[in-house]
Amino acid sequence: MTDLRRATPNDLAAILADLPAYWGDRDVRHLHHPMFVREFGDTAFVSGDVDGYLFGFVAPAHVGYIHAVAVHQRSRGSGLGRHLHTAFAAAARARGATRLKAITGAANTESIRFHERIGFTACLITDYSGPGQDRVVLTRDLP
Ligand SMILES: CC(C)(COP(=O)(O)OP(=O)(O)OC[C@H]1O[C@@H](n2cnc3c(N)ncnc32)[C@H](O)[C@@H]1OP(=O)(O)O)[C@@H](O)C(=O)NCCC(=O)NCCS
């Protein structure tokens, strides 16, 4: 499996320049705040050629929070998404995390199936992001 490295501001710029190749029609530019590479770079990973990336952090309650994970359309289905999660889980555990968490929309069945396949449990939480803003919360214990 391809080597992963810490994500840099240059990687973020490359991702933003090619966002539909990772996310399709969804406008997710707002998920790509520079703090994820500048402040939380120890838990932000990319593959060498930016075929995939994961931005996350460890919250004070010992939760490794996966903020965004995406794989370029040309590289889907080759295990890169799982590889990025494995790298993040190791980094999060080393920083004291005992649990992993991610959230997604109920319509993003692709993300829900992917996360369930790699060991997460999905739970629909009503009004998670405010009135009428339900979200699927994905969690996994870190052994
Ligand atoms: C979700 C995503 C990151 C998966 O990346 P990927 O590199 O294709 O996934 P992997 O090849 O590592 O797959 C890992 C496992 O999940 C399964 N899987 C991946 N995508 C799946 C899907 N859409 N439906 C069902 N299972 C899926 C694979 O079959 C594999 O299972 P296996 O290892 O038991 O064979 C990728 O599809 C993507 O970038 N989607 C758009 C962005 C997005 O929605 N991100 C998640 C929200 S934060």
pLDDT tens string 61-71: 999 999 999 99
CATH number at residue 132: 3.40.630.30
* Extended strands (E) in the chain: 4-6, 44-47, 52-59, 63-71, 99-104, 121-125, 135-141
Atom of ligand 1 nearest to the CA of 66: 48
Model confidence pLDDT, tens digit, residues 19-69: 999 999 999 999 999 999 999 999 999 998 999 999 999 999 999 999 999
Q: What is the pTM of this model?
A: 0.97
Q: Does the beta carbon of 56 lie inside 6 Å of ligand 1? A: no
**Residue 137 predicted with pLDDT over 80:** yes
SS3 57: strand
- Total structural domains in the chain? 1
**Percent of residues, the chain, with pLDDT higher than 70:** 100
Q: Does the beta carbon of 68 lie inside 6 Å of ligand 1? A: yes
Residues 9 and 17: their CA atoms lie apart, in Å, by: 12
For Cα atoms 25, 69, 43, give the angle at the middle one, nearest 5 degrees. Answer: 145
**Residue 1 predicted with pLDDT over 80:** no
Inter-residue contact 100 to 62 (CB < 8 Å): no
- Domain of residue 75 covers 4-141
